Structure 1
Amino acid sequence: MPHRSAYVCLSCRLSFKHSEYRAYQCPRCRRTLLLAGDSFEAPPRRDRDAWRVVSVLLHAGLGFRQRCCGCGPGYRPRTLREVREGLAYARRRGVPVARALATPSP
C-alpha cells in the first residue's frame, strides 16, 4: 500500500489523503491544500476551535508526520488554551514558536 499523507483546506475545514507529494487544490474553494502529514487525524468539521489549533500548528511549521520509529509526530497541543500558553512561553523566553508548541506544558 502506498504511503498516504493528509492534505487540508483550513477555510473549508476538510482533509484529503493523497499518495503523491504535489500541490493539490480544494474541490470546494480551489485554494491550495496544506500538507498536514501522514499521522494527521482531522477534527470534526463543526469543531472550529480544533481547526484553529490545526491552523496555528501548520502555519508554525509543525506537521503531523510520523517519526522514523513509527511512534507518531510527538506532542501537539489540542486546545486553544494550550496554544495560547505555548505562544506566551515563546514570547517570554524568546524560543521559536514551533519548538514552544511542540513542548508539553512549557
Structure 2
Amino acid sequence: MKKWIGSIAVVIMLGSIGVTFFLQRPDYRNMDIIKIRENHIVITPPARDPEAEYPVYKIMIKSSTVIIGSEDIKGLKIGDTIDVWIEAIEDQEVAARIIKNE
C-alpha cells in the first residue's frame, strides 16, 4: 500500500513539474530586436539564411511589462536576443515579461 502511495505521489509531482514548465515557456524564444520605439519593439527570428524572408512581430510595451536583464526598454538595443511572454490585449500582443539573453 505504501509503495502505491509513493508511486502515485511521484507521478503527480513529475506531472506538475511538466505542466509548470510548459506554462512558463516564452511565446517568442531567442528573437532578435530589429526596431525599438517608446511603446513597442519589433522582433524577428535570427536570420540564418541571408536570402530567406523571416516573419516580424510588433510587441507592445506597457508600464507593467517586466524586463529582466535590463532596467527598462531603454536598456534594450537593436540586435539583442530576447525571450518574450505575451498577453493579448485588444487584438495587440503586449509583452508581459521580457528576458534579455546574454
TM-score normalized by the length of structure 2: 0.23
Structure holding more helix per residue: 1
Q: Which has the larger radius of gyration?
A: 2
- Scaled by the length of structure 1, the TM-score of the pair is 0.23
Higher RCO (Cα < 8 Å, 6 or more apart): 2
Greater per-residue strand proportion: 2
